[in-house]
Structure 1
Amino acid sequence: MNKFDQALARIEQINWNNSYRNKPSYSILVHEFIRRGNIFRDIYDKENTGRLAVFSAAHIINASISEDVQRLIKDKNLIKYGWTMAALCEYYLEWSYLIDRKNEIAIEYNDLYEPIIKLFERGGRISYHQNELICGKAGWSRNCYSVPRKVFIEEISDEILDNIDLECK
């Protein structure tokens, strides 16, 4: 199975009705997603210091996505889950498509969207409210440029995230 099909299957398997208000691992996953995005954009989008957390890496590198793939993504009607989550799932699918097409940048940053998709799989949800990205009780400034690039968490496996959630109960 190629990366795009795996990504599509992951999104289709998310139980969007199964959401939890707040787990300690959620803020770690959002922070890690923003951190990875900033590292990517430090190289490919240097001029943009007013960075939003919800971004299309494919758009930043000016990659073209097949019309058939765009139509397939739109046909999934992801918008019913909220525009922020729908957009991130769409961008994840675009990135997976580029990995399958052997795009060197996409291959180098193949796990760019992993933390945010893992958040959705674990029942976490995000939204924007009053110029902040909100997840549970945590919020990040709409301008995510200032999120540190240093490693926040080495591994985002379910086992490690589950242990973090248990330790903080």
Structure 2
Amino acid sequence: MVKRVHEIDWNIARDPKQSHSVLLAEYLRRMAVFANTGFAIQSPLESPLKILNIENNDLLVEVSTVVEESLPNINNPIHYKICRNYLELAYIIEKGFSKALKVANMYEPIIKFFERGGKLRFDSDKALSCGSAAFVLNNWINFHSDRLETDISDPNLERIDLDNNQ
């Protein structure tokens, strides 16, 4: 997982694609579904350590140290936070934390988003945006938890982008 984050070209300049909004929507859906399982999530950028209520200080320090050393230089603070969360989750899964196994693929859509050149921004702290698509964060859990799961396989994402370019 560390290798995957390091292989992302963070300086790539690509025009927004339809697949970017599909991937961001699926990431928000997965986070919202997780929130509806009884965990307190305030933001789609919440640390999995906080969500899973990990209070073991030794483990928290260990995770923080390992993740900090593993992160590449990412200038966008939203991208940085999400990748940090992704690596935190990967680390606690590797350590055998069973609750984390239930959400092992939670970050897959957003990592694919980054791999495909997607860029995120906050619009007045009220919406998370990519290209021309904006996802309002007010009541985001209820809204996104009701969405149907989206096929984020590479062939489907390529088809979505091709269909929208015609």
- State the TM-score bracket (shorter-chain normalisation): 0.7 to 0.9
* 1:26 maps to 2:54: no
What's the counterpart of residue 124 of structure 1?
118
* Distance in 1 (alpha carbons) for counterparts of 2:70 and 2:87: 11
* Distance in 2 (alpha carbons) for counterparts of 1:29 and 1:61: 24
* Distance in 1 (alpha carbons) for counterparts of 2:31 and 2:129: 17
Aligned partners of 1:8 and 1:93 also within 8 Å: yes
What's the counterpart of residue 154 of structure 2?
158
Deviation of 1:53 (Å): 2.1
Secondary structure at the counterpart of residue 168 of structure 1 = helix
Deviation of 1:58 (Å): 2.1
Secondary structure at the counterpart of residue 15 of structure 2 = coil
Deviation of 1:109 (Å): 1.2
The TM-score, its normalising length taken from structure 1, stands at 0.85
Bigger mean CA deviation after superposition, 117-126 or 19-28:
19-28
Q: Structure 1 regions of 5+ residues with no counterpart?
A: 1-6
2:76 to 55, 64, 82: 82
Deviation of 1:140 (Å): 0.9
Deviation of 1:99 (Å): 1.1
* Distance in 1 (alpha carbons) for counterparts of 2:38 and 2:51: 7
**Alignment deviations for residues 99-153 of structure 1 (CA, whole Å, 9 cap, x no partner):** 1122222111110111001100110011112121011110011232222433241
Bigger mean CA deviation after superposition, 60-69 or 28-37:
60-69
Deviation of 1:163 (Å): 1.1
* Distance in 2 (alpha carbons) for counterparts of 1:60 and 1:80: 23
What's the counterpart of residue 128 of structure 2?
133
2:161 counterpart letter in structure 1: D
Aligned partners of 1:44 and 1:61 also within 8 Å: no
The TM-score, its normalising length taken from structure 2, stands at 0.86
2:123 counterpart letter in structure 1: H
* Distance in 1 (alpha carbons) for counterparts of 2:162 and 2:48: 33
Q: Structure 2 regions of 5+ residues with no counterpart?
A: none
List structure 1 segments (4+ residues) > 3 angstroms apart after TM superposition: 75-80
Deviation of 1:79 (Å): 6.2
Task: Please give the root-mean-square deviation of Cα atoms over the aligned residues, in Å.
Answer: 1.9
Secondary structure at the counterpart of residue 106 of structure 1 = helix
